[in-house]
Amino acid sequence: MTPATTAPWTDLLAAATDDCLAALLEGADQDWSRPARGLDWTCRQTLDHLALGLTGYTGLLIARPDDRYTTLFASLDPQAPIPTCLEGLRIAASLLSSTVRDTPAEAHAWHPWGHSDATGFAAMGITELAVHTYDITRALSLSWTPPDGLSTAVLARLFPDAPSGHRPSDTLLWCTGRIPLPGLPRRADWQWDGAVRWLVL
pLDDT tens for the chain, 201 residues long, are 334 444 499 999 999 999 999 999 999 999 999 999 999 999 999 999 999 999 999 999 999 988 898 888 888 999 999 999 999 999 999 999 999 999 999 999 999 998 999 999 999 999 999 999 999 999 999 999 999 999 999 999 999 999 999 999 999 999 999 999 999 999 999 999 999 876 432
State which amino acid sits at residue 67. D
DSSP for residue 174: H
pTM of structure = 0.93
Element (H, E) at 150: helix 148-158
The rounded distance, in Å, linking the Cα atoms of 129 and 39 is 15
Maximum separation of any 2 CA atoms in the chain, in Å: 52
> DSSP letter string over 53-98?
HHHHHHHHHHH--SSS--S------TTS-HHHHHHHHHHHHHHHHH
Of 148, 193, 140, nearest in space to 173 by CA: 148
CATH number of this structure's domain 2-26+35-199, picked from the four choices 3.40.47.10, 1.20.120.450, 3.40.50.1970, 1.20.140.10 = 1.20.120.450
